[in-house]
Homo-oligomer: A and B are copies of this chain.
Amino acid sequence: MIFRSLVQTKQFSSGLCREHETRMARKKLAVAVPASMISDTPHLREKTSKIGIIGRALAIFRVDEIIVYADDPKVNQIQELDFIATLLSYMETPQYLRKRLFELKPELQYAGILPPLRTPHHPLQGRIRDLTVGEYREGAVVSKAKNGVLVDIGVEQPALVPDTQLALNRRLSVKITQLDGQIEAQTINKQDIPQYWGYSVSAENHSLVTLLKRRQFDLTIGTSKFATRFQDAVQRLGERWRKADSILVLFGAPSRGLHEIAKGEGVNLNFLVDFVLNTVPGQGTETVRTEEAMLASLAVLNIHFGSLN
């Protein structure tokens, strides 16, 4: 099952359109984390903190998609999957749309402590007078109009998106086209927005092996402390990175690394992904937590290949 809550409108289309590819050749960067990454933290509040660090890391390094996968075949992890996905989606949603798009669920009890993303799609301005024609905003459909839909874009009045029929509460990205009188806007694909425009969230109630069969990426990178040091593979990795349009970086849990997770499914990790790399060589601690590994790994990849995506 693919998690399809409120984030479905934010799923990437399967490929970039030709025009866009020629213009910017922007790569799609995805990361995968195991559902059990929060299981070593007993309190809901600290689980929430952990997700907060993950969400921030995704935004800092302009990640396009996060996939949460089931890493323990012995346990039903649907609750953890749902928890992580809900909190990450909530965090990625502009504040002015959250009440409309999220019910008050128990897992959101500590959502107030989630740090703000401070990305371009979370504008601080909430007044019409601050809007400019050509600006992008995230919105949600509040009602249908005769000639289109009215969309909440976080200012005093909704914007009219003409010639469009969309379901109530559907989330969408728009570009402001008119500010005199009725605000008007047109829908726009996320990948055509030049700034970083947030991440999509997929909770896959599937094992690592199934996930990698179901989803196609040009380049897959696993992270492990039992692996080649990043710097020893950087040249080979760079060659593959340059050619790839879509890249997936996979993380394990502190209690069970990627090697162990793959082994539990009867597979050797080295045959499952293109690279297995140690991005924290010589670590001073016995384990590196998923959120720590993510910040460290994305920082290292960003320095080496960031200008390429």
User: Which residues of A pack against B, CB within 8 Å?
Assistant: 43, 45-46, 49, 53, 56-57, 59-62, 113, 115, 117-119, 196, 230-231, 279-289, 292, 295-300, 302-304, 306-307
Contacts and interface: CB of A to CB of B under 8 A. Distances in A.
B281 A60 contact: no
B59 A285 contact: yes
Given A45-B45, A46-B49, A49-B49, A119 B299 contact: no
B284 A59 contact: yes
A62 B281 contact: no
Q: Most B CB atoms within 10 A — which of A57, A284, A298?
A: A284
12 contacts: A56-B285, A56-B292, A59-B284, A60-B284, A60-B285, A115-B289, A119-B286, A230-B303, A280-B299, A282-B302, A292-B295, A296-B298
A299 B284 contact: no
Contact of A297 (B49, B117, B297, B299): B299
Given A60-B284, A280-B299, 5 more contacts: A61-B283, A62-B282, A119-B285, A119-B286, A297-B299
B300 A303 contact: yes
Nearest to A304: B231
A62 to B, nearest CB: 4
Given A230-B303, A289-B115, A196 B295 contact: no
A300 B118 CA distance: 23
Contacts of A56: 285, 289, 292
A37 B61 CA distance: 21
Given A46-B113, A113-B46, A289-B56, A62 B299 contact: no
A282 B296 contact: no
Contacts of A57: 292
Nearest to A231: B303
Contacts of A287: 118
A292 B60 contact: yes
A191 to B, nearest CB: 15
A244 to B, nearest CB: 18
A288 B46 contact: no
A-B interface, 9 closest residue pairs, ranked by CB to CB distance from nearest: A296-B299, A118-B286, A196-B284, A62-B284, A295-B295, A299-B299, A118-B285, A49-B49, A59-B285
A199 to B, nearest CB: 9
A59 to B, nearest CB: 5
Contact of A306 (B117, B118, B281): B281
Given A60-B288, A285-B56, A285-B59, A43 B113 contact: yes
Contacts of A118: 285-287
B295 A281 contact: no
A1 to B, nearest CB: 29
B306 A282 contact: yes
Nearest to A199: B284
Contacts of A288: 60
